[in-house]
Chain A
Amino acid sequence: MAEIIQEEKGKKGGKRRPKKHGTRIDMTPMVDLMCLLITFFMLTTAFSKAKVMVITMPEKDNQNQDKNQPQISAFRTLNIILSEGDKVYYYIGMADPKKPPLPALVKTNFSKDGIRKILLDKNRDLFTKIAEYRDKRVTGKIVVADTTLENEIKKMKRDDKKGPIVLIKADEKAKYKDIVNIIDEMAICNIASYAIVDMSPIEKDMLKNAPK
């Protein structure tokens, strides 16, 4: 569809020169095609790659499981039990049937004032340290690369001796998102050590008697 735009013929002058005609190509169909292609690509492509959350589980080793049980101090232990309907229970210390009384389960939830408040309260020292470090970086008091920041935070977490050790347990009726949510809370609150473990029979009993 090339159209030739003819210029008006000048009648002046005796000489007849061969006319220069600028060929002009109609671009409209090309634009149409481009539009179509772009729409097609917009619809079929995924822009953002999926995000992942990495968890590392302790290695399963059936042979020397009992011998190598790490000893953890009871008062630092925070047990979180997830149950049906996004319910969260927690108790501090250890539930040992030989040493009554059993700790009481406290019911809470995933909201801002729920489990996060408890975690932040328990993890106050480490959280403040990391947050202050981050603030310093944001305000420009220290200039470090992203990787240095990450390493520094990792180091702080490793050196932490006061923060809670969180044991996450989920019962049969808990949903997958509950587990993801609680691991997320750990990341938000900068908890240094946490693990997903199985529930003990005592805890199951405790859960039965827990406030609904």
Chain B
Amino acid sequence: MPKIKPPVRTPHIDMTPMVDLFSVLLIFLLLTASFRPQEAAVITTPQSISEKQAPDADLMTIFIAKDGKVYFNIDNGRDTSTHFRSKLLGKIGEQYKITFTKAEIAKFGTMSSFGLPIKDLKTWLNSKDSKEKEKLQTGIPMDSTDNQLAWWVREARLTNVGAEVAIKGDADTDYKLVKKVMDLLQDNKVNKFNLVTNLQKEEVALKDLPPATK
């Protein structure tokens, strides 16, 4: 008698539910997340209990790195067709008698934070080598003879009138430098700052009150 062979079948797992699950996850991620913008310097922000969220548009940010370099960033506005960045570059160019080509202006419009003297801006925009680009980022000069940061802030305020100002300073920068930036902002009639911080929960309840001293 011949043996009865069970039919050989490869086990087949139905992947459809898995695909469904992944699709849902993917759509969720796409809808909830915003892209992490590329930043010119690594900055560790100090911690605070503040739970207020930073505005996601119409924001001008001044980065103060640990090594004392100052970077600047402004977004294109809530309505991206306004192209605030490109307009700003045009104005700054006029101010410093530098003419930027259309391509350079368009490129600047899509970039994010930068920290370099205006005279290097053209080289930076045209450079393709990322290492060379990094070398050019020496911080925006803000000494009293040539206060370029003040110009950026002033022109940015004129370009996007509704922009709020955020200061993203490294926890270990000297207060002296932060104060200098704040003074500069106050000279440009900015009196309300958003200090970018990391959330750290801390609460004090009634029972934590120290006993009354009479």
Contacts and interface: CB of A to CB of B under 8 A. Distances in A.
Contacts of B80: none
Contacts of A46: 33-37
A104 B169 CA distance: 33
**A interface, size bucket:** 35 or more
Best-surrounded residue of A5, A121, A128, A176 (most CB of chain B within 10 A): A176
Given A57-B191, A132-B206, A176-B174, 15 more contacts: A8-B7, A30-B15, A38-B22, A45-B29, A46-B33, A46-B36, A49-B34, A51-B196, A56-B191, A57-B186, A57-B193, A121-B213, A176-B64, A177-B46, A188-B204
A27 B15 contact: yes
A74 interface: no
Given A41-B29, A120-B208, A176-B174, A60 B187 contact: yes
A169 B173 CA distance: 17
Interface string B49-60: 111111010000
B196 A50 contact: yes
B48 A116 contact: no
Nearest to A62: B187
Interface of A: 5, 8, 24, 26-28, 30-31, 34-35, 37-38, 41-42, 44-60, 82, 116-117, 120-121, 124, 127-128, 131-132, 135, 170, 172-181, 183-184, 187-189
A45 B210 contact: no
Interface of B: 7, 12, 14-16, 18-19, 22-23, 25-26, 29-30, 32-37, 45-54, 56, 64, 166, 168-179, 182-183, 186-187, 191-199, 202-206, 208-210, 212-213
A31 B14 CA distance: 11
B34 A45 contact: yes
A174 to B, nearest CB: 4
Given A38-B29, A47-B32, A188-B204, A52 B195 contact: yes
Q: Which of B16, B34, B35, B195 has the most chain A CB atoms inside 10 A of its CB? A: B195
Nearest to A58: B191
Contacts of B45: 50
B210 A120 contact: yes
Contact of B205 (A58, A131, A170): A131
Contacts, number: 182
A38 B32 CA distance: 13
Contacts of A128: 206, 209
Contact of A49 (B22, B49, B53): B53
Nearest to A121: B210
Given A45-B29, A121-B210, A177-B46, A51 B199 contact: yes
Nearest to B61: A50
Contacts of B208: 120
B161 to A, nearest CB: 18
Given A27-B15, A51-B199, A178-B175, A187 B49 contact: yes
Contacts of A174: 174-175
Contact of A135 (B166, B175, B199, B206): B206
10 contacts: A31-B22, A51-B53, A54-B193, A57-B192, A59-B186, A60-B191, A120-B209, A120-B210, A172-B176, A188-B49
